[in-house]
Amino acid sequence: MRTGNGSSPRAPIGVLSAVVIDEARPDRLLLGVRRPSPLSPRHPGVLSTPTMRLSPDTFGALTGTCPTIPDAVGIHPVDGATLLIGRGGHTTTLASLVIEDLLIRKLGLAEAIVDGRWHARAYPRYLSLDEVGDPLGTQSCEWTAMLTYEVRVHCGVDAIPQATASYSRIVWVPAGKVPTALAHHDALLLDETLDAAEVCVQGLCVRVAAQMVLDAGVLAAGRTRG
């Protein structure tokens, strides 16, 4: 990937992000308050979509399925095939397997996926490139490429816990308010029970989620793709 001025920066960190939508209530999406861990110290206290770092080989394989690969800083729409998540989806494509791994690791959905109580459809939406800071954690910046999928939960919403080892709180928030909350850095606009002194709204993953809302991708109830 290249920056908009044509220079070639160091290779970016590859990150997978899932904007999780409740198919029965597509006006809301899932965010979690990140808690630091020895293996994931960045962005403590930040509202985040479920995200996970990927190896260069895995990230390259996933982005290789996109018809075009953006090479400029920013949030770029992509398209691709519809993916089955859960109910054997991991045997069909690498992307399904990796998304299931993300949901198992970050949302604690292993049992619900294994016993068939949880399943979804996923759609590639954006490939983003930016320098991502970490003002509340390591104070370091990382050149980051992020592939974002919209994950629409068809069954098993109740299996998503209220907290995991990765997130101190997991909340369903009104999708339409995400752009405003991001612009004002005000988490209380999304959930009044959050601690405004400890939780902030920033970061590339939420910026992409806000862009998805503005593009009306999360507001089209019952849409099918693929």
Residue 7 lies in a domain: no
Residue 225 belongs to some domain of the structure? no
Please, which pLDDT band fits residue 101 given cuts at 50, 70 and 90? very high
Average pLDDT over residues 131-140: 58
Give me the number of domains the chain comprises.
1
CA dihedral 84, 90, 93, 97 (to 10 degrees): 110
What's 164's domain CATH number? Answer: 3.90.79.10
What is the pLDDT, as a whole number, of residue 155? Answer: 96
The pLDDT of residue 221: 39
Interval 63-75: pLDDT, tens: 886 555 556 788 9
pTM of the shown model: 0.85
According to DSSP, the β-strands at 142-155 and 13-22 are: parallel
Please give the pLDDT value at position 131.
79
- Residue 34 belongs to a domain: yes
Average pLDDT in the chain: 84
Q: Is residue 6 part of a domain?
A: no
Question: pLDDT tens across 14-66, in order?
Answer: 999 999 999 999 999 999 998 876 666 555 568 899 999 999 999 999 988 65
pLDDT band at 194 (very low <50, low <70, confident <90, very high): confident
Quick check: is 118 in a domain?
yes
| 68 in a structural domain | yes
Q: How far apart, in Å, are the Cα atoms of 37 and each of 14, 40, 47?
A: 19, 5, 16
For 149, the domain range is 13-214
Residue 183 in domain: yes
219 part of a folded domain: no
